Structure 1
């Protein structure tokens, strides 16, 4: 914890020394998080997981990249809009575990996020007898990776201020695995709520901090926490109310902690990204956004209710995939399709769901529909 505290202090120093580059944007992105942000670290680690199989990646990359979607993630769309100059945009973020080479310049940014990562340290769950089904990587692991990478990014204080002072640090989405490891272990909602301040404290140490998405609208959760009581469900969306209320509870505590950090560090530019509110309109009016199927139905899965089957996951033998993922909100029952991520990212980038608005920080924007970038291998 002492090492993490030191690293947290270095983040605050970087935030306080932050000065926007020409145009008010950033020269690089350093991203941390879980499966909503991982661009290939779990795959690069050699861990066996269905996400390394087709049809993951089919829409944009046409092959699995280690992203938990059919295509790009929110972090990919953010990278499209944060310019190095008026003529060039940031490349897709390479996963840290691939290592740098002539094709991957980590000075332009790198992704430390890992599928299944938790905000709290692994020892926290071990001490409480809670199993971790996907990975033993935590946010602390990712911050240690960043610490190890620093010497290769800059060799002096002035160089570090230039390279890192103009970087966007994206922390999340993360925290969901912490909660569902606990809930999945059969612990009560009341006990799980006691962990929220610890999770929030672990993730409020960066520039752009996303809140968590509507838990009650995720097909896997709708299956795992299925109820015969109609009062547990929102009549408008079909989502589980108490799970969404829990997500709102986490986000409210996160906002409160960010407000505290802003007062402590008035020169730091700390942005809250409300992914919950950015995603909810999709579940409330899916047809408005071009989704022709139920937003609670997974495109890729092993059948059953909501097309999510924990015994036959997307990418495993026996699973099937829909013909047009762009008509679905959920990709594999746990994560969104590229089409859904694109809409959420647009809401964040346009400033409607960020506080302060992203548009006040980065002045150079084009609409997502008019801006594309070339495909690459990661």
Structure 2
């Protein structure tokens, strides 16, 4: 496809959705985010547990930014739509981090269930909630000492008026497939969601009232999972995705949606919003060419070439010697053509599309309306 023809659909998406996103204002003073690599803006890297190398960050930040992406994440686009700055990771200590407008506790590889000795990330959902509780207590201590800290930390009432966002659970499901059957994984979902519910209750007790919960995406369509579990074509669906992984994700999402209704009933003074990320991402993968993409599953940054360009032995930007042979995970020429960045995470272009769909309000329960805690105000 000629370059100019390839770019036109992408420009069409931007022209349709970006003005809409910019024409609204989510009236919240701060955002507190919890999750995994889908919304991690530098937590795991700041902890010194992992390192990211170029070409990560190449599209927007021009250097690795702590995000597992070539550029911005969904949360970055949502923060922009709310006229709020990108969230600093809780563990950021250099670069003059400012937490006035919120804080990001999300860490790559994190799970809802407590971490184990083999977990890559120790920052499970319960730990992230505990970090928030300490963060809030420390903020209130600083504010009590005088006004000199006001421009760096949230105001007292921001904790009640702020938006609490969640995007976690993917790793609980995806990781379980390495040791459990599908039936065992489906049977474990209630216990996973009980842990999530307990965390939400703790945040409610701390004053949180506005909750924004993303469900999990189509795990079976990630190149990492196709490479490991999709070698038998009978295990794949019509889109080339691993059927069992997507079944687990859909079951998890059904029960998460039910939990949203339960929480809303228990806390009538709160607003609990459920966002159907699964449907948005599935639609993107099924109709990728319509939205200007050329590769729905193959990784942009990887090793091995088509059909997946994914090699579990070497991550994006790394070079390793394997069996005497040097292999490098390099980026594709144009990441705008790809939905998947590194076999696990989405490209900036795909993240922008997902964010644009979230901002339509069509994929939320309840949908955006004048009853939402953060009113949608047209600026024109």
Whole-angstrom CA distance in 1 between matches of 2:270 and 2:69: 33
1:262 to 261, 264, 272: 264
Q: Does 1:177 align with 2:163?
A: no
Cα distance between partner residues in 1 of 2:378 and 2:36: 27
Provide closer, same or farther for how the CA distance between residues 319 and 100 of structure 1 changes in structure 2, counting only shifts above 3 A.
closer
Q: Say whether the 8 Å CA contact 2:182–2:244 is kept in structure 1.
A: no
Q: Tell me the TM-score normalized by structure 1.
A: 0.80
| Structure 1 unmatched ranges of 5 or more | 1-22, 83-88, 367-378
Deviation at 1:229, TM superposition (A): 4.1
Q: Counterpart in 2 of 1:341?
A: 351
Determine the C-alpha separation between the residues in 1 that align with 2:26 and 2:108.
32
Partner residue, 1:70:
70
Partner of 1:40: 42
Residue deviations 1:247-277 (CA, integer Å, cap 9, x gap): 1100000000110111111121110011101
1:303 has 2:304 as partner: yes
What is the SS of the residue equivalent to 1:178? helix
Distance 2:50 2:366 in 1: 40
In structure 1, the partner of 2:316 is 314
State the 4+ residue runs in structure 1 displaced beyond 4 angstroms: none
Give the alignment's Cα RMSD to 1 decimal. Answer: 2.2
**1:113 aligned to 84, 89, 106, which one?**
106
* Partner of residue 377 from structure 2, selected from 360, 364, 367: 364
The whole-number CA distance in structure 1 between the counterparts of 2:133 and 2:254 is: 30
Equivalent pairs, count: 323
Displacement of 1:365 in angstroms is: 6.2
Aligned to 1:57: 57
Secondary structure of 1:30's aligned partner: strand
SS across alignment from 2:296: coil
CA contact (8 A) 1:211 1:275 kept: yes
Question: Contact 1:28–1:107 (CA<8 Å) still a contact in 2?
Answer: yes
TM-score scaled by length of structure 2: 0.80
Q: Is the Cα–Cα contact under 8 Å of residues 113 and 142 in structure 1 kept in the other structure?
A: yes
1:89-108 → structure 2 map (5 Å cutoff)? 89-99=83-93, 103-108=96-101
Distance 1:191 1:330, change over 3 A: same
**Match in the other structure for 1:219:** 223
Which residue number in structure 2 is paired with residue 9 of structure 1?
none
